[in-house]
Amino acid sequence: MINLILEEIKKIAEIFKKIIRKKHVRIYTQYDADGITSASIIAKVLIREGCNFELRVLKQLNSKTVKEVNFSENDFLIFLDMGSGQINLLKDAIEKTNVLIIDHHEPIKYEHPNLLHINPLLFGEDSEKYSTSLLSFIFSKFVDPKNIDQIDLAIVGAVGDRRDEGIKVGEVSRVLEEAKILGFVNVIKDLKLFGSSRPLFKVIAYSFEPLIPSVYGNEAAALQFLKDLGISLKSENEWRTLKDLTEEEKAIIADGIIREKKDLVDFSEVFGEVFILSKKPEFLADSREFSMLINACSRMGEPDLGIRLCLGDYSVYSKSLEKIEEYKKQIAKSMSFIENSGVVEKENGIFILGVNVVPDYLIGTITSMILSLRKPDKPVFGLAYDSTTNMIKVSARKQSGWNINLRDILVNVVSELGGEAGGHKDAAGAYIPLGKEYEFIEKVNKMIGDMNAEE
Ligand SMILES: [Mn+2]
């Protein structure tokens, strides 16, 4: 099975090498860490091949943003981490010129001589085991083996997409093994907290993976939490950081977090394998921290900072740190709004109403946070106003394990309410018309109820 997709990627890489000499390359990528690392990998490939290109970062590819895609028959369009589910929007472009899509979201099956389509789901592979960054990396090596040095970016994108588990299986585990052998990645066991140079109590207060319910967003509570555990906060008048902790202290903190979360969390979510990028500067060595930086820059409106970090321009690092502070503040503000007034709980789902307080670009994160805070036995749906489309953006998340496909649910609801939907089984998204929020809630609640009744 695995060879089918590799054969296809190899074949497409050969065609790619011919097209990039003849056409003007335009890359469009999705703005999260997976999209940004993928775009950086492909950008580096093009730089090495001596080709000019344009790169644009989109929040999402939908019927509005597709209008920003320029194309003529002289262009070669590349879509990364998006496109597979939006092929209907791209048919005009595909009719006219060459299009390459590298993606791992649910694809629409469509064949056309102009379309080069890399998606594991087209080959019966499991999308959970892939990120677009890994696919882009495998692709880049077929273009030129010297792109092997981009292996650490592939890991950053996978971590950003929470493919940490997927990383350990199949083709992906092979890539990780390769990265270890070549000395690009070092796997260590550590507390799954990050922000290695920040005061420890701040790390504890603003961590949202793991999220510590009684402490989240409250620095005083974080200080008390550490004091209660007997962790000294300062050494020689300086705030201690994660780096200063002994192994024993790390274990104490891990236990403390698990107790605080009332055992609603696996030990491995708090203490476990962390991928360290050995060839990156120390401040970008923690793959989760790197992916979080990229995410924060994109969401705060400066995705170019993430691209530059990926391409090795570290002069923007301090600016990217400012973005992460802004991002964390916005999240804390949104969370307190939601916890106070924005949750509607139904029998078959928890619905978060971000209205126009929670920005569309945070609703996915917030929805994941509510899921991790409450560990509900039903899915969580976040709704927020999106000003670029004048629609309501929906993010749906659930705990893995039970047999409901969130993407299918959203696709179904959208077929009745209007809008667009896509994504994965455990994490999906949609846009619905403004004003249909309550109708959405009723329909989803009923739909899941009917599905449960059928079982
Ligand atoms: Mn992705």
Distance 34 CA to ligand 1 centre (A): 5
In a 13 Å sphere around the CA of 398, the CA atoms on its Cβ side amount to 21
Q: Is 322 exposed, middle or buried (0-12, 13-18, 19+ CB in 10 A)?
A: middle
Q: Which pTM was predicted? A: 0.87
Hey, what are 296's tokens?
């924060």
Say if CB 360 and CB 384 are below 8 A apart.
Answer: yes
Q: What is d(CA 172, CA 153) in angstroms, rounded to the nearest whole number? A: 13
Mean pLDDT of the 350-376 span: 89
Q: What is d(CA 215, CA 217) in angstroms, rounded to the nearest whole number? A: 6
Distance 35 CA to ligand 1 centre (A): 6
DSSP string spanning 367-393?
Answer: HHHHHHHH--SS-EEEEEEETTTTEEE
Say if CB 404 and CB 397 are below 8 A apart.
Answer: no
Distance 448 CA to ligand 1 centre (A): 26
In one letter, which amino acid is 160? G
Distance 214 CA to ligand 1 centre (A): 31
Distance 137 CA to ligand 1 centre (A): 13
How much is the pLDDT for 167?
Answer: 64
pLDDT per residue as tens digits for the range 295-309 = 999 999 999 999 999
Hey, what are 219's tokens?
């620095």
How much is the pLDDT for 1?
Answer: 46
How much is the pLDDT for 245?
Answer: 93
By percentage, how much of the chain surpasses pLDDT 70?
Answer: 97
Sequence-distant (6+) residues with CB within 8 A of 34 are 81, 131, 132, 133, 157, 158, 160, 161
Q: What is d(CA 99, CA 78) in angstroms, rounded to the nearest whole number? A: 6
Distance 239 CA to ligand 1 centre (A): 36
Distances in Å between the Cα of 454 and the Cα atoms of 171, 174, 213, 439, 450 are: 37, 41, 35, 23, 6
pLDDT value at 283 more than 80: yes
How much is the pLDDT for 164?
Answer: 61
Distance 86 CA to ligand 1 centre (A): 15
Band of the pLDDT at 168, cuts 50, 70, 90? low
How much is the pLDDT for 301?
Answer: 94
What ranges in 23-101 are assigned the alpha helix state H? 33-48, 87-96
